[in-house]
């Protein structure tokens, strides 16, 4: 049985099409990522799958249960971390944890083995009110509360948004350990660098899934040569490259611009040299998930 099955889900809010024909499955023990920017439809889909919102069209099952007909059973069997910290901020760490265990008719002691690796990191602050924790510690507490009843499926909606890079790294290490325990995980994130930490990903934009595959396969599907370009005045460089008729795409990527072309690189170099760009650097580079996402987004826009 597949832990999550989504078939042709549509959702509209007034004139806004939040989700359009969304279909995918999550396999047993899989860490599946839903990757896309704010407003792409990630949270709307999570709310449908966790029975908090009704789809306009389509069906979905979680752990073999229908999200509408069996909503009560689903709520008892899943763990859910919404994008916004939603625990009781005036309760302490241990009070929050015991409260959520009680809600699910279990105890922290009964399932402590599942949360031990995570809880040990926040145990020194167990008497502290949840609202006084750092962003990273809040996320660890929220994950403990989502796991305390030993869920069959785990939903994490943008769990690392707003936390520092070290906490992000630690959080993903915890997810890898949870996956090894056989818990299927659906996680959403706007951070493209986190996509490579998933077994498979769905790239979503404007409520549509553009591609589903392993991160490596998505990157391998990027066939065009890609160039990293830099000059002293990056704004003028971006303006000139976007005006160049041989440019296929050009966008900021860290301290460089990433460039793909319809023409050869020598023609582009001559174009830039003629415009007197100082400290010009052009070098070949390899594509990443973000490059693949932008290419798919451009293709999506061309078909609209």
Question: Could you give the CA distance from residue 4 to residue 13 in angstroms, rounded to a whole number?
Answer: 24
Q: Above 80 in pLDDT, residue 18?
A: yes
* pLDDT 10s digits, 128-185: 999 998 888 888 899 999 999 999 999 999 998 878 888 888 889 889 988 988 899 9
Q: What is the pLDDT of residue 304?
A: 56
Q: How many CB atoms lie within 10 A of CB 298?
A: 13
CA dist 114 → 111, 120, 171, 175, 182 (Å): 6, 12, 15, 12, 11
Lowest mean pLDDT among 46-60, 107-121, 190-204, 233-247: 107-121
> pLDDT tens for residues 87-134?
889 999 999 999 999 999 898 888 888 888 888 888 899 999 999 988
pLDDT at position 165: 86
Distance from first CA to last CA of the chain, Å, rounded?
A: 36
SS3 55: coil
**Phi, psi for 58 (deg, rounded to 5):** 90, 175
Q: Does 303 score more than 70 pLDDT?
A: no
Domains and CATH numbers, the chain: 4-214 (3.40.50.300), 223-286 (3.30.70.100)
Which residue stretches of 79-164 are H helix?
93-103, 112-122, 135-147
pLDDT exceeds 80 at position 30: yes
> How far from 23 is each of 8, 9, 45, 264, CA to CA, in Å?
5, 7, 11, 39
Q: How many angstroms separate the CA atoms of 203 and 190, rounded?
A: 10
Calpha distance 90→129 (Å, rounded): 5
At residue 111, the pLDDT reads 86
Contact 88, 130 (CB under 8 A): yes
User: Which of 164, 108, 105 lies closest to 134, judged by CA?
Assistant: 164
Average pLDDT estimate for 271-275: 92
Q: How far apart are CA 239 and CA 201, in angstroms?
A: 33
Q: Taking all residues of the chain, what is their mean pLDDT, rounded to a whole number?
A: 92
Q: What is the pLDDT of residues 223-261, one digit of tens each?
A: 889 999 999 999 999 999 999 999 999 999 989 999 999
- Under the banding of pLDDT at 50, 70 and 90, the label for residue 288 is very high
Please state the pTM of the whole predicted model.
Answer: 0.90
For the cut 80, the answer to whether the pLDDT of residue 302 exceeds it is no
Strands 4-13 and 57-62: antiparallel
Give the single-character DSSP code of 53.
S
Q: Are 42 and 157 a contacting pair, CB within 8 Å?
A: yes
Angle at 205 between CA 200 and CA 210, to 5 degrees: 50
Q: Are 142 and 102 in contact (CB under 8 A)?
A: no
CA 295 to CA 214: how far, in whole Å? 17
Mean pLDDT calculated for residue range 261-268 = 92
Please give the pLDDT value at position 134.
87
Cα separation of 298 and 286, whole Å?
Answer: 19
């Amino acid at each position: 049985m597949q832990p999550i099955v989504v078939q042709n889900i549509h959702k509209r809010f007034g004139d806004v099409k939040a989700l359009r024909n969304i279909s995918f499955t999550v396999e047993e023990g899989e860490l599946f990522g839903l990757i896309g920017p704010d407003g792409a439809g990630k949270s709307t889909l999570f709310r449908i799958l966790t029975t908090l919102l009704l789809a306009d069209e389509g069906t979905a099952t979680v752990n073999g249960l229908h999200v509408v007909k069996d909503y009560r059973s689903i709520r008892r069997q899943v763990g859910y971390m919404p994008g916004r910290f939603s625990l009781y901020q005036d309760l302490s760490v241990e009070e929050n944890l015991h409260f959520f265990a009680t809600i699910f008719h279990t105890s922290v002691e009964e399932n402590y083995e599942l949360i031990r690796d995570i809880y040990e990191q926040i145990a020194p602050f167990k008497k502290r009110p949840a609202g006084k924790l750092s962003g990273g510690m809040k996320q660890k507490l929220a994950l403990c509360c989502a796991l305390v009843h030993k869920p069959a499926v785990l939903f994490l909606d943008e769990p690392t948004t707003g936390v520092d890079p070290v906490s992000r790294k630690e959080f993903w290490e915890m997810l890898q350990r949870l996956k090894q325990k056989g818990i299927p995980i659906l996680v959403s994130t706007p951070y493209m660098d986190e996509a490579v930490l998933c077994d498979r990903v769905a790239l979503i934009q404007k409520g549509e899934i553009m591609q589903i595959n392993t991160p490596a396969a998505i990157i391998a599907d990027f066939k065009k040569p890609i160039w990293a370009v830099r000059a002293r005045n990056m704004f003028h460089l971006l303006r000139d490259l976007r005006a160049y008729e041989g440019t296929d795409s050009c966008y900021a990527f860290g301290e460089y611009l990433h460039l793909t072309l319809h023409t050869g690189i020598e023609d582009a170099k001559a174009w830039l040299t003629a415009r007197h760009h100082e400290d010009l650097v052009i070098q070949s580079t390899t594509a990443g998930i973000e490059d693949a996402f932008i290419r798919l987004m451009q293709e999506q826009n061309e078909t609209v």
